[in-house]
Structure 1
């Protein structure tokens, strides 16, 4: 049910559709091989998300992909085209992306799905295997952490709702 969302996230992380599909397919094979174990988990969807995330991270490491500017390109492109001060916007975008990457794992996942990939609260909850209230609460804490980090970096723009 979540394959399109998983592939989209993996593509966001890996920068390549075929690598993303391969990572998600590997995760599905692992889930199928361990299906009785998956079903014993209190939240099978959360377990599945963890497997997908780990296979994607493994694929990135195997491909020796460099984090950083490649990962931020899609994140900042639209903002740069609209900016009156492109260099200032680039600095702000890089600081924002760095702040997102430094969030605790659950907060990072929620922010990426909600604001970078544009999933709704309901979609994010389904993908991550958590409640909608959990998504809203986690997003609220994440935005507070981001605001604090960005304020320290001198970035005045925060994440919009």
Structure 2
């Protein structure tokens, strides 16, 4: 899937470089390529697919089901966010990018990333019943 995204970018490289934000365009290509591959394999293109593995692989608790259920709930909530909010949350918190890196990837300003992340976190708190 990554190879396919690279090939797609290579074929249209001059046009990619002419974009206002080549990194943002590349992020979109990779994201949509991932979705296409998932659909072609008859799978959902959601984050939930990785939640179980991550929760159990990183958990040494005696009862792995509690963190697993929490993780799945969180991934479902993230998946329900609008696309831009979901991208910001994934880049910042799942992939560990800085605000500047996320801004570069998405073609946004750092202030827009921070604002979008704030709104997304508030929405996640409401969805998960954590809002005050």
* TM-score, length of structure 1 as denominator length: 0.67
Matched residue, 1:104? 82
Structure whose residues are more often helix by fraction = 1
Q: Any idea what SS the aligned residue of 1:93 has?
A: helix
Matched residue, 2:29? 51
Unaligned runs of 5+ in 1: 1-22
Tell me the distance in 2 between the aligned counterparts of 1:26 and 1:79.
30
Tell me the distance in 2 between the aligned counterparts of 1:87 and 1:143.
24
Deviations 1:34-82 (A, max 9, x none): 2232233222221121111111111222233355763212442367434
Question: Do the aligned partners of residues 26 and 86 (structure 1) sit closer, same or farther apart at CA in structure 2, a change above 3 Å counting?
Answer: closer
RMSD of the TM alignment (CA)?
2.6
Q: Any idea what SS the aligned residue of 1:130 has?
A: coil
Q: Any idea what SS the aligned residue of 1:81 has?
A: coil
- 1:21-60 equivalent positions in 2, closer than 5 A: 23-60=1-38
Matched residue, 1:149? 127
